[in-house]
């Protein structure tokens, strides 16, 4: 902005002296530069009244804009952390524009996996991390807020009041508990998903305000044991990839995405199998009730959802046919 303003004043002065005072282009440039620089050199030739009035306005504009430009450029040139300041300002501006986004607290193994999945689905998210080395390593791919997630001001910088989801993936259960408690106080509508290492921490996290509590170690152990008991079934379930929009086999779709385009009162009316090749394997009622393998005559209710299974190309066809984002 400082450079643009300087260039604009320079052009303003050159054009003014060229057409008001009748100077040549070189003389107009010379007069503009010595006027903006306030060096006190003599005019090329005496100015008439109109040119003198123009010069007064040019001097006033030059003083303010030149002073502004010098202060801004000096800050960027002389400041040792100018690049970091620019990045932080850019991140702050990006975060201020976000709403209904996801906040991920902690960029360890679990936080990184969560961020990768969100990135694959193109969901806007912000990561709160206090380790500077981690931030410097990954800041090109992820928007970070540097600081402790237990600090309310840091959560505010991440836009917790405008966020839709909060994923708390810190390694310490006590730290996760404090983050959940603070975030719930700042945003009552926030959907909070917290990590837990100990079974005794689950109840406390729910009481603090978490909507879901995930125990990665328990899930990993169950998965490994299941591979022993029923290996083919678990391998098949692993094939139901949900890595991103081009490889997903499962899709969650709101009924409104269908009802806005076709008249559908039941699952039979949707007829997704014939239209797209996809199969409806689940139904989520407005109250949160889950129905697995619902009947075709099941009556659809507003604000409900269906879970759809299909190959990646079938899912893409579904999204394109019904304009699903």
pLDDT the model gives residue 6: 87
Residues 49-70 pLDDT 10s: 888 888 888 888 888 888 888 8
CA distance 69 to 65: 6
* Same domain, yes or no: 99 and 64: no
Tell whether the model's pLDDT for residue 79 goes beyond 70.
Answer: no
* Same domain, yes or no: 101 and 199: yes
Looking at the domain assignment, is residue 24 inside a domain? yes
CATH of the domain at 158: 3.40.50.720
Q: What are phi and psi of 39, to 5 degrees?
A: -85, -15
For the residues of 93-125, what is the DSSP string, one character each?
HHHHH--S-EEEE--SHHHHHHHHHHHHTT--E
What's the gap between Cα 269 and its chain centre? 37
- What is the percent of the chain with per-residue pLDDT over 70, rounded to a whole number? 94
* Same domain, yes or no: 212 and 263: no
Could you tell me the CA-to-CA distances from 11 to 31, 54, 231, 237 in Å, in that order? 12, 13, 75, 67
User: What strands, in cross-sheet order, belong to the sheet with 305-309?
Assistant: 250-254, 305-309, 279-284, 290-292
pLDDT the model gives residue 82: 62
Report the mean per-residue pLDDT for the chain.
87
* Position with higher pLDDT, 248 vs 72: 72
Could you tell me the CA-to-CA distances from 291 to 249, 271, 308 in Å, in that order? 19, 18, 13
* Same domain, yes or no: 140 and 174: yes
Q: What are phi and psi of 41, to 5 degrees?
A: -65, 160
* Same domain, yes or no: 208 and 108: yes
* Same domain, yes or no: 207 and 282: no
Q: Region 159-164: what's the mean pLDDT? A: 95
* Same domain, yes or no: 64 and 10: yes
Looking at the domain assignment, is residue 232 inside a domain? no
pLDDT the model gives residue 130: 93
Q: Region 294-309: what's the mean pLDDT? A: 90
* Position with higher pLDDT, 41 vs 255: 255
* Residue span of the structural domain in which 52 resides: 2-78
* Same domain, yes or no: 49 and 117: no
Looking at the domain assignment, is residue 206 inside a domain? yes
CA distance 306 to 251: 8
CATH of the domain at 310: 3.30.70.1450
* Same domain, yes or no: 51 and 90: no
Looking at the domain assignment, is residue 231 inside a domain? no
* Same domain, yes or no: 105 and 202: yes
* Position with higher pLDDT, 294 vs 91: 294
| Rg of the chain, C-alpha, whole Å | 31
* Same domain, yes or no: 56 and 90: no
For the residues of 153-200, what is the DSSP string, one character each?
HHHHHTTTTT-SEEEE--S-HHHHHHHHHHHHHH-TT-EEEEE-SSHH
Tell whether the model's pLDDT for residue 41 goes beyond 90.
Answer: no
SS3 229: helix
CATH of the domain at 56: 1.10.287.70
Looking at the domain assignment, is residue 230 inside a domain? no
Looking at the domain assignment, is residue 223 inside a domain? no
* Same domain, yes or no: 198 and 305: no
Q: Region 247-266: what's the mean pLDDT? A: 80
User: What strands, in cross-sheet order, belong to the sheet with 165-168?
Assistant: 144-146, 125-129, 102-105, 165-168, 191-195, 212-214
pLDDT the model gives residue 176: 95
* End residue of a domain, out of 218, 237, 260: 218
pLDDT the model gives residue 207: 94
pLDDT the model gives residue 78: 67
Residues 219-252 pLDDT 10s: 888 888 988 988 888 888 777 755 555 566 888 8
Indicate the number of domains in the chain. Answer: 3
Looking at the domain assignment, is residue 106 inside a domain? yes
- What is the percent of the chain with per-residue pLDDT over 90, rounded to a whole number? 38
Let me know: does 283 contact 307? Beta carbons within 8 Å: yes
Q: Region 78-104: what's the mean pLDDT? A: 80
- Split at pLDDT 50, 70, 90, the class of 83 is low
Looking at the domain assignment, is residue 229 inside a domain? no
Tell whether the model's pLDDT for residue 87 goes beyond 80.
Answer: no
């Amino acid at each position: 902005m400082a450079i643009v303003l300087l260039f604009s004043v320079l052009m303003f002065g050159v054009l003014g002296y060229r057409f008001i005072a009748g100077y040549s282009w070189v003389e107009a440039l010379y007069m503009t530069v010595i006027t903006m620089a306030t060096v006190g050199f003599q005019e090329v030739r005496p100015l008439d009244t109109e040119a003198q009035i123009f010069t007064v306005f040019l001097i006033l504009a030059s003083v303010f804009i030149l002073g502004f430009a010098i202060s801004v450029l000096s800050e960027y040139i002389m400041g040792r952390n100018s690049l970091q300041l620019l990045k932080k300002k850019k991140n702050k501006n990006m975060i201020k524009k976000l709403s209904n986004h996801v906040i991920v607290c902690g960029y360890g193994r679990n936080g990184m996996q969560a961020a990768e999945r969100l990135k694959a689905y193109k969901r806007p998210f912000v990561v709160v991390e206090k380790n500077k080395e981690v931030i410097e390593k990954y800041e090109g791919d992820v928007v970070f807020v540097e600081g402790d997630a237990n600090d309310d001001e840091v959560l505010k910088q991440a836009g917790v009041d405008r966020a839709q989801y909060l994923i708390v993936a810190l390694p310490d259960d006590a730290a996760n508990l404090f983050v959940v408690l603070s975030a719930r106080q700042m945003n009552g509508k926030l959907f909070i998903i917290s990590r837990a290492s100990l079974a005794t921490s689950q109840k406390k996290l729910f009481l603090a305000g978490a909507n879901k509590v995930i125990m990665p170690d328990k899930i990993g152990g169950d998965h490994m044991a299941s591979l022993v008991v029923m290996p083919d079934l678990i391998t098949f379930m692993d094939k139901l990839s949900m890595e991103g929009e081009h490889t997903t086999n499962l899709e969650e779709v709101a009924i409104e995405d269908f009802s806005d385009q076709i008249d559908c009162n039941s699952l039979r009316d949707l007829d997704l199998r014939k239209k797209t090749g996809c199969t409806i394997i689940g139904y989520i009622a407005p109250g949160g009730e889950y129905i697995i393998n619902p009947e075709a005559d099941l009556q659809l209710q507003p604000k409900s959802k269906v879970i759809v299974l299909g190959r990646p190309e079938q899912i893409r066809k579904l999204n394109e046919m019904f304009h699903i984002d």
